[in-house]
Structure 1
Amino acid sequence: MKPFIRALTFGSTTVLGLSVVAGSAHATSFTLTSPTSGGTLGNGFTPVGGIVLDLIGQNGVRVTTQLAANETFVGFFDSGTPVSSQGNPGTIGTQTGFNSSVISALGGGIKEVGVRFSLYDGDSASGDFDDSNDNTLLVNGLDFGDWSSVNAENTDNQGNTGSNGFSGGGFRNNTLDTGWFYSNDSTLLSSLYDSLVNTQQVVYQVQDVDPYDNYYDFTQGISSNLSNVGQGPSVQPSNPVPEPLTILGSLAAGSFGVALRRKYNKQQQKETAEV
């Protein structure tokens, strides 16, 4: 995308506006938009890579985090690294940092969860050897759904829209796909909240009905400048800072309002003088 600055003049006030012109690469909005009511992710999240967790508390407060791709498991789950993550279920990665202040911000519970994964050669789409409910995502040991049911989007290594579109379900063979798991099941999320209180961490695992048949590398196909990006749990502000274009629009509207008030005052003064 190529930005350029445009000067807009309102009376004696000049406002700088930012315009964006599409270049050859087109960033996808899908990977940066959570299926929760929180919607678009805040600053600092990569469009591809890592494991993004989006929690919406019972009070509507949002907590987000991203585990860097280079902190996840690599290999077959009977021989890969780290060794402590081997097994079935196999541990993809662990997000720490859920201290008491972060958990308290959720208002005593969780009402929505979104979890984003990027995976090359996931082999869980239709026709792949791990399709049809072979693989299940576990979050702190809780069932968050089948990998084959996630509609994942293909991107390039920087998170721009790829040529293979959406999978229609699953993470495809020899394709870099990114997709969201989602739940608003109150019973499931009550158990997840209790596990956060007890452990102050989130453990992501994959359970396979026929384990050890797939090689996992959650950094494969992802640009090196993105694979090491992560951030700990963060409580999002309830009143987010307006986007630059919103600020500029407010300035323009304010300037227009000032001009109208000045014109009205001058007209009033003229009418008073003529009386």
Structure 2
Amino acid sequence: MDVSGDGVENVTSDDGLRAARDRAVQAGIIINGLPIVTNDPDLDDYYKNNVIGGSDSFLIAANDFSDFGNAVTQKIGREIKPDKPVPEPITILGSLAAGGMGIVLRRQKKQKDTANSV
């Protein structure tokens, strides 16, 4: 899960926020932070202490809203692991086509079996 924002004005309780984060982490959710520090230069520290969590969590701060796209690009780069290649689109399409073909063949066999039993 990714959490981004430019302040803490919507937080009603830091303790409640940390408790929710801890429950999510215990459930196996990794929470990354993408704070926009334009109005609060310490927001990245707040995210480190109260928002992010999980074994592989990370934080990438954007200096301002115009820098947010760069932060997202960095985030995606960190999440793509070189030891786990992304399948090519043709591989995905081939898998979907093969699955669809299996469904069609199964329906035809079922229709044949039904016709023969009548």
Structure with the higher fraction of residues in strand conformation: 1
Please, what TM-score do these two structures have when normalized by structure 2?
0.33
Please, what TM-score do these two structures have when normalized by structure 1?
0.19
Structure with the higher fraction of residues in helix conformation: 2
